[in-house]
């Protein structure tokens, strides 16, 4: 391969994956505060967690003035049968990103098995991210059971149709790149055929997880197909990233040279300690307690869901330490900072966040199952009574033939221009305005 190898053009609003050490997409471990901390410690790009297309479709985009984030939300399905009984019901955050701190370095990974829904979802978020990546490698049942993730490796034609649709209908209009993440197949020949097919769809990047679909993270990554994949991508001008058993920036740089790939992803190691993105000559990996403090501060700044924050801390704090046991019993951010010994510095901020999230000392009383059932019945009766009343009122209204209209009602004295403004096709002033 020569230095003048072909390169797929990088769109104006996209990013080149070459020479980048990036945070891998991880469900639960790739939410907003994890990504921001990875960038703070030196990650070049960050992938968000796989988000299924149908989960994003139908969401509303909001700019959060408190956290300075962009939130894609929908009303929680919990209690949706009768939302009238809970008018203050919170919206669920389906996806949250920080445009200033990560927007130009964030890749949205989509879970999909259909070109149409993939495009519909990707169009919603494309203006806020630097690229869209299709998950064709996740082996977990929640993904494969819907024909997504690694299940797409068995349907390469469908996978290619999804990529082509995203390139044409999302990537080109928004001037961002479309990429795909796959696993190796059982034979080098099968992998080669798949990669060649994928590189012909117009994608700008391809990431290969060096494990087969049945393999789990505890099994050592297989890299004997990696150089071949990198060569095929280079011939097509597509950037190639590797994933699997990469534990630090320095190791990643060595593997890039050894196998001829363009970049590398770090997953599990970054979940435990995101400072692995720092090179050794800049201090390398930081102590866990330092990283944990920064993570908690970042999580509070973006008001991360408490359950997710607690899950990540469970990965970051060594399990045998007293701080771990104290953290596991915490029910609020105030409890967390106390458990970690930062109450004097962060306690007030933690209480403010708890209040806005309504957790800990600020948690509102929850309905019991019996109370919720009774409220549902009452709401149903109330709605039924309202419908009956409305029906009676309609029946009691006199017909048009029996009503003597005034000149004003008939519009006889209205100037023609006023009559036009109030024509049947116009919207009355009192009509509601829908926000999209």
CA angle 260, 34, 364 (to 5 degrees): 160
* Total Cβ atoms within 10 A of residue 196: 13
138 noted as active-site residue: yes
Q: How far apart are CA 210 and CA 134, in angstroms?
A: 17
Tell me the H-state helices in 167-215. 172-174, 188-199
Instruction: Tell me the longest C-alpha to C-alpha distance in the chain.
Output: 92
* Catalytic-labelled residue, pool 32, 138, 160, 233: 138
Q: How far apart are CA 27 and CA 25, in angstroms?
A: 7
Strands (E), 49-111: 51-52, 60-64, 69-75, 91-97, 106-111
The gap from C-alpha 130 to its chain's centroid, in whole angstroms, comes to 13
Cα pseudo-dihedral 109, 114, 115, 120, rounded to 10:
-70
The encoded tokens of residue 432 equal 């509601």
The gap from C-alpha 348 to its chain's centroid, in whole angstroms, comes to 30
CA angle 296, 301, 303 (to 5 degrees): 90
Measured CA to CA in angstroms, residue 183 lies from 49, 180, 250, 252, 387 at distances of 17, 10, 24, 18, 56
Tell me the H-state helices in 178-321. 188-199, 226-236, 249-259, 268-272, 288-301, 306-316
- In contact, 5 and 249? CB cutoff 8 Å: no
List, by residue number, the catalytic residues.
138
């Amino acid at each position: 391969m020569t230095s003048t190898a072909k390169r797929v053009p990088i769109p104006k609003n996209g990013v080149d994956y070459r020479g980048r050490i990036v945070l891998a997409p991880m469900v639960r471990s790739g939410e907003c505060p994890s990504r921001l901390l990875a960038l703070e410690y030196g990650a070049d790009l960050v992938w968000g967690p796989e988000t299924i297309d149908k989960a994003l479709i139908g969401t509303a985009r909001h700019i959060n003035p408190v956290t300075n984030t962009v939130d894609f939300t929908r009303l929680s399905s919990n209690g949706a049968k009768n939302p009238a009984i809970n008018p203050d019901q919170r919206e669920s955050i389906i996806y949250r990103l920080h445009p200033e701190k990560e927007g130009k370095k964030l890749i949205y990974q989509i879970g999909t098995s259909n070109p149409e829904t993939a495009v519909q979802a990707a169009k919603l978020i494309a203006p806020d991210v630097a690229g869209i990546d299709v998950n064709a490698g996740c082996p977990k049942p929640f993904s494969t059971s819907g024909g997504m993730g690694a299940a797409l490796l068995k349907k390469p034609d469908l996978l290619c149709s999804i990529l082509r649709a995203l390139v044409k209908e999302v990537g080109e209009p928004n001037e961002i790149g479309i990429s795909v993440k796959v696993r190796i197949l059982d034979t080098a020949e099968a992998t080669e055929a798949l990669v060649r097919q994928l590189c012909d769809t117009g994608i700008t990047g391809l990431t290969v997880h060096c494990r087969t679909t049945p393999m789990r993270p505890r099994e050592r990554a297989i890299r004997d197909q990696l150089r071949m994949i990198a060569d095929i991508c280079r011939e097509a001008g597509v950037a190639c990233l590797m994933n699997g058993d990469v534990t630090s920036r320095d190791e990643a740089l060595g593997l890039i040279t050894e196998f001829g790939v363009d970049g590398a992803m770090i997953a599990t190691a970054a979940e435990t300690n995101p400072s692995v993105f720092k090179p050794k000559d800049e201090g390398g990996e930081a102590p866990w307690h330092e990283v944990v403090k920064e993570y908690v501060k970042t999580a509070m700044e973006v008001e991360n869901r408490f359950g997710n924050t607690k899950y990540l801390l469970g990965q970051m704090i060594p399990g045998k330490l007293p701080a771990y046991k104290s953290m596991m019993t915490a029910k609020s951010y105030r409890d967390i900072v106390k458990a970690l010994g930062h109450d004097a510095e962060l306690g007030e901020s933690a209480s403010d966040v708890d209040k806005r999230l309504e957790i800990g000392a600020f948690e509102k009383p929850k309905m019991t199952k019996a109370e919720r059932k009774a409220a549902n019945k009452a709401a149903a009766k109330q709605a039924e009574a309202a419908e009956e009343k409305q029906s009676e009122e309609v029946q009691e209204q006199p017909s048009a033939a029996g009503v003597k209209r005034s000149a004003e009602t008939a519009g006889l004295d209205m100037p023609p221009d006023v009559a036009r403004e109030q024509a049947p096709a116009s919207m009355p002033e009192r009509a509601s305005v829908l926000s999209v």
